[in-house]
Amino acid sequence: MRSSVTVSLVPEARGGPFVFWDQLGEACAQAASLGFDAIEVFPSGPDDPALIILPSLLAQHSLRLAAMGTGAGWVKHQLTLTNPDPEVFQRAMSFVKGIIDQAGRLGAPAIIGSMQGRNAPGSDRVPTLLRLKDALTELGDYAAQHQVPLLLEPLNRYETNLINTVDDGLNLVASLGTTNVKLLVDLFHMNIEETSIPLALRAAGATIGHVHFVDTNRRAAGFGHLDYGSVIGILKEVGYKGYLSAEALPWPDSISAATQTIAKFKELFPRET
Ligand SMILES: [Mn+2]
């Protein structure tokens, strides 16, 4: 498994669980000097000017791109893949396809988290989930042109009422007309929603495409009470070889959160670093 750390370029998401903020060049320099293998970027959109210099920054610092987030589509533009308005839905699809292309040219997958939206109170869930199913099928096939999967992230109940658990995610993925959608398992969301984190990880098995490496309180790994030994044991058992990406609050500050994360990673993988 390899290490990654998040960088948000979305001012409207300030206060969110991203380790580094705003300054892509500085974040790359700090991630590289701490020994991370990769960064995970949350751009303001497919046309974020920072994405122009991203390839050269990655090369300069010998970093990979682990994944790219699409949440700015929701945070900045209130777009979702379940909006019943066809015009809004199409703009959401275009936004996500743009991110898939930006990430895909660097060999990385895009993430669908908050862009799944939520079901309006009192309305029927069935058509909402059908829209999400159709969207993920089309976007999963779209991502295949870059030889990368599309990542679907179950979120806790305070962020969506659609896909909350690994089981919800597995059922949706199994229903799709594509095999190119994988699950992003976020240990913070899992701590809220799962009966057992190890059992849910084992159930997800080969469908796990990415891991958000974060503690129970959304602080850096080791700043909460998660049993990382059992988590890593199950990930090894199911053959997971992807990233453990720190999507955590910059607490008490960005550098401390990044330093804590890499220390925990080295403790868990003494021979890989
Ligand atoms: Mn996450």
Asked if residue 6 belongs to a domain, the reply is yes
pLDDT in tens, 62-79: 999 999 999 999 999 999
Provide the β-strand partners of residue 210. 184
Q: How far is the CA of 212 from the centre of ligand 1 (A)?
A: 5
For residue 131, the model assigns a pLDDT of: 97
Residue 42 domain flag: yes
Is 260 inside a domain boundary? yes
How far does residue 186's CA lie from ligand 1's centre (Å)? 5
> Residue 33 domain-assigned?
yes
Peptide bond into 252 cis (omega under 30): yes
Q: How far apart are CA 67 and CA 230, in angstroms?
A: 25
Domain membership of residue 170 (yes or no) is: yes
Give domain status of residue 273, yes or no: no
- The pLDDT mean for the chain works out to 97
Q: Which domain holds residue 199?
A: 2-268
**Distance in angstroms (rounded) separating the CA atoms of residues 118 and 125:** 9
Residue 175 within any structural domain of the chain: yes
Q: Do the Cβ atoms of 137 and 172 come closer than 8 Å?
A: no
The pLDDT of residue 272 is 59
Closest CA to 149 of 267, 47, 231, 68: 68
Please tell me whether residue 157 adopts helix, strand or coil conformation: coil
157 CA distance to ligand 1 centroid (A)? 13
Distance 247 CA to ligand 1 centre (A): 6
Residue 97 sits in a domain whose CATH number is 3.20.20.150
pLDDT tens, position by position, 17-71: 999 998 999 999 999 999 999 999 999 999 999 999 999 999 999 999 999 999 9
Gap from CA of 201 to ligand 1 centroid (Å): 15
Closest by Cα among 162, 168, 188, 172 to 139: 172
For residue 271, the model assigns a pLDDT of: 77
Q: Give helix 24-34 / helix 50-60 axis angle, nearest 10°.
A: 20
Q: How many domains does the chain have?
A: 1
Q: How far is the CA of 153 from the centre of ligand 1 (A)?
A: 7
Mean pLDDT of 215-219: 98
Q: What is the mean pLDDT of residues 238-253?
A: 98
CA of 268 to the centre of ligand 1 (A): 21
Q: What is the pLDDT of residues 135-184, one digit of tens each?
A: 999 999 999 999 999 999 999 999 999 999 999 999 999 999 999 999 99
Is 45 contained in some domain?
A: yes
Nearest 5°: the CA angle 162, 164, 170 is 90
User: Is the per-residue pLDDT at 208 higher than 60?
Assistant: yes
